[in-house]
Amino acid sequence: MSHRLSVVASVLATSLLSISAHALPFAPVIDEFWVVKGTALAGPSEIFRDSFGDGAVPPSGPDGAATYGVFGPGGMTSEAGGKLTMTPSLGDSVLITATFADLSTVASRTLATNSANPNFLGQDSSFEIHGLYDLSMLPGVTGQGFGIRATDRAPPLSNPGNNTVQLNVGVNAGTGDVSVVLRLLDFAANTSTLIEIFSIESLLPGADQIELILSKALDSDQVAASFIIYDSSDNVLGSHAMTNTATIYDGEDYIRGAFESLDRVPIPEPASLALFGLGLLGIGIIRRRRRTSGLH
């Protein structure tokens, strides 16, 4: 009887290992995050840059211990060697249900809601929000992704807002291609609207990093998106500017820059689930037989 139990236990362990193999964490890496601002009286200038070199994960950053407002702080897992690694499966549940992702971690720069602050990104200014990510960790399924945001949301600062423009690297649900995706998230309406999607599959061989960019012109409420892909020698392998733009400043007069990563809760493959069920069934049968024979 003990031999049968060990066999079933072995089958069950194999099943669990199979499930675990499909549940390895998605852990994207960001190298730099920065913001450029311009006004009618001054040309563009860099107002913020985080090179992730102090070893302290967000909310810590160049502005101090409260540089960022972090959603899903458990997903900010390590910072070393000028790189921040995120594990969004350790973050929090996404706030918009009309999305492929289940969990996320987001870091939004705090200093941007007071018009007297030089970091303020208002409608009468231009801006660029940049995020430079490694391409060593690519999303494997729809719902996984990493990218940047331009958001008017700041609930901890009593500015709830409703709109976020999101530029992510993700997986196209229709084609399976790794793609750059521009979306408009409306947290009041609970909607996620696809603005444009562009496949980067053909650019991935030899690719090392991708720079994602959200930009807005002076006195405009339209946010544009673009990206640049580099090889390991910082040569440009390809770039693209999205044709369509997203409307923001819908009742709010400020924008904050943010970066993020997202994940989908791993679901075991049917074969693994069946094997797992058989293992449990086998243990159940053995336990019933042991009871019947008076072995307790």
Mean pLDDT on 225-246? 97
Same domain, 293 and 200: no
The two three-digit tokens of residue 243, written as one number: 């044709």
Residue 296 has pLDDT above 70, yes or no: no
Mean pLDDT on 141-153? 94
Q: Which domain holds residue 71?
A: 24-265
Mean pLDDT on 132-145? 96
CA distances from 193 to 163, 197, 286 (A): 11, 11, 53
Same domain, 85 and 181: yes
Same domain, 49 and 85: yes
Name the band, by pLDDT with cuts 50, 70 and 90, for residue 162: confident
The pTM of the full predicted model, rounded to 2 decimals, is 0.82
Residue 234 has pLDDT above 60, yes or no: yes
HSE value, Cβ hemisphere, 13 Å, CA-based, for 206: 10
Same domain, 114 and 178: yes
Same domain, 12 and 33: no
Per residue in 261-281, pLDDT (tens digit) is 999 986 554 444 444 444 444
Residue 3 has pLDDT above 90, yes or no: no
Amino acid at 189: A
Mean pLDDT on 9-19? 41
pLDDT of residue 147: 98
Min mean pLDDT across 19-28, 35-44, 100-109 is at 19-28
Same domain, 42 and 62: yes
Number of domains into which the chain is organized:
2
Same domain, 271 and 251: no
The two three-digit tokens of residue 29, written as one number: 């890496």
Same domain, 62 and 143: yes
